[in-house]
Amino acid sequence: MRILVTGGCGFIGSAVVRRLIARSDHRVINVDRMSYAASEEALEAAADHPRHLLIRADVADGAAMREIFATHRPEAVMHLAAETHVDRSIDGPAPFIHSNIVGTFTLLEAARAHWAALPAGERTAFRFHHISTDEVFGALGPTDPPFTETTPYDPRSPYSASKAASDHLVRAWFHTYGLPTIVSNTTNNYGPWQFPEKLVPLITLNALEGKPLPVYGDGSNTRDWLFVEDHAEALVGVLERGAPGATYAIGARQPRSNLAVVQAICDLLDELAPDPAGGRRRLIRFVADRPGHDFRYEIDPARSEAALGWRAAHDFTAGLRRTIAWYLDHRPWWEGVRAARYDGQRLGGGGGR
């Protein structure tokens, strides 16, 4: 297939592009406006591959999207382009409305016009896969069952509200216009190439440099953690085997409190890169909680696992070890990012697109 991937230079998007180029014969049209969190380096060998084309464009630019569809005639869309950092959405929600809501609407309209003009067989085969988050479901209590595909929406932050709105748009275009759309919702992602403002790289890099390790509240807020390459595998499965109109909840069955994640990072770094000054747990600092901080997210992926024949390959310990080893081996990349685009002071916002 010719697959249009939006946000393909982002954290999850680049993992999807790498997976498509390395392990399929699909062609990838990668559309990314190259915002602060995008990295062309994250494409690795896919960057210069003949089946990959990078186009710098904003999904909210209707003229650009219509031209891309007319020129490249994609047979499927994987829509990952989004603003994802919760703290940034609290500080300034406007970019989240622009990218996540207006951008999704604009892309849907360009896709609908393209799809409507296709021959009947190609219309039937076309797919629009929208990648979303479990944060649209709101917060779980300590004993609540995990989210599923049928959990009611209850977003609590500007970020999650913007993603909820985009999910609703995608489903409306399926029911109203017949556009073959699919939605997937996922948990916190982590792994190589994640922008350093997110929790796992932020704590890893601060700990390496002997800086304080900030933890919101008492650290008991809990998330389900999914290794990014496992997520990319699931997303390709959704595109290739998913049913139009369906929703797929993708998780790893690996819940951890924020404090447990920070402590695990400290302990692995103490093993892989010992600090003469002592164990890294000494650097943990509890700070004032952020507004509207959801207590717990967790997904029950049973339905998706059965439908896709997929299950996360990495448990949290194995995935975290791979991630920390990657950051240890790629110091020039993250030092360059910190010097140019991010000072390391903003708290981590969990997983991200």
pLDDT tens-digit series, residues 195-215: 998 999 999 999 999 999 999
Give the HSE-up count for residue 275: Cα atoms under 13 Å, Cβ half-sphere: 20
Q: Token pair of 295, please? A: 């207590």
Residue 277 lies in a domain: no
Would you say residue 166 has pLDDT above 70? yes
* Amino acid 247: pLDDT: 98
345 or 336: whose pLDDT is higher?
336
Total count of domains within the chain: 1
Would you say residue 351 has pLDDT above 70? no
Would you say residue 6 has pLDDT above 90? yes
Q: 77-130: per-residue pLDDT in tens? A: 999 999 988 889 999 999 999 999 999 999 999 999 999 999 999 999 999 999
Would you say residue 353 has pLDDT above 50? no
Give the range of the structural domain holding residue 141, as residue numbers without chain letter. Answer: 2-193+227-253+292-313
Closest CA to 31 of 125, 108, 95, 107: 107
Would you say residue 346 has pLDDT above 90? no
The partner residues of 130 in beta bridges, in order of sequence, read 79, 183
Q: 14-65: per-residue pLDDT in tens? A: 999 999 999 999 999 999 999 999 999 999 999 999 999 999 999 999 999 9
Q: Give per-residue burial for 7-34: e unless 16+ CB within 10 Å, then b.
A: bbbbbbbbbbbbbbbeeeebbbbbbbbe
Catalytic residues, by residue number, are 134-135, 159
Average of per-residue pLDDT across 302-314: 97
Average of per-residue pLDDT across 295-299: 95
Task: Kindly report the average pLDDT of the chain as a whole number.
Answer: 95
Would you say residue 182 has pLDDT above 50? yes
* Amino acid 340: pLDDT: 82
Beta-strand pair 222-227/127-133: unpaired
Report the distance separating Cα 137 and Cα 160, nearest Å.
8
Strands (E), 141-277: 181-186, 188-190, 213-216, 222-227, 247-250, 255-257
Query: How confident is residue 343, by pLDDT bands cut at 50, 70 and 90?
Result: low
* Amino acid 342: pLDDT: 57
CATH of the domain at 30: 3.40.50.720
Q: Which contiguous run of DSSP H or E holds residue 130? A: strand 127-133
Residue 289's CB: how many other CB atoms inside 10 A? 12
80 or 347: whose pLDDT is higher?
80
Residue 265 lies in a domain: no
Would you say residue 170 has pLDDT above 60? yes
Residue 137 lies in a domain: yes
* Amino acid 213: pLDDT: 97
* Amino acid 291: pLDDT: 82
User: Amino acid identity, residue 245?
Assistant: G
* Amino acid 262: pLDDT: 98
Average of per-residue pLDDT across 164-180: 98
Would you say residue 66 has pLDDT above 90? yes
Q: 251-283: per-residue pLDDT in tens? A: 999 999 999 999 999 999 999 999 999 999 999
Residue 221 lies in a domain: no
Average of per-residue pLDDT across 215-244: 97
- Contact yes or no for 207/279 (Cβ under 8 A): no
Residue 323 lies in a domain: no
Residue 241 lies in a domain: yes
Task: Using alpha carbons, list the distances in angstroms from residue 219 to 8, 17, 156, 258, 296.
Answer: 32, 34, 19, 5, 11
Residue 82 lies in a domain: yes
* Amino acid 341: pLDDT: 63
Residue 318 lies in a domain: no
Average of per-residue pLDDT across 171-198: 97
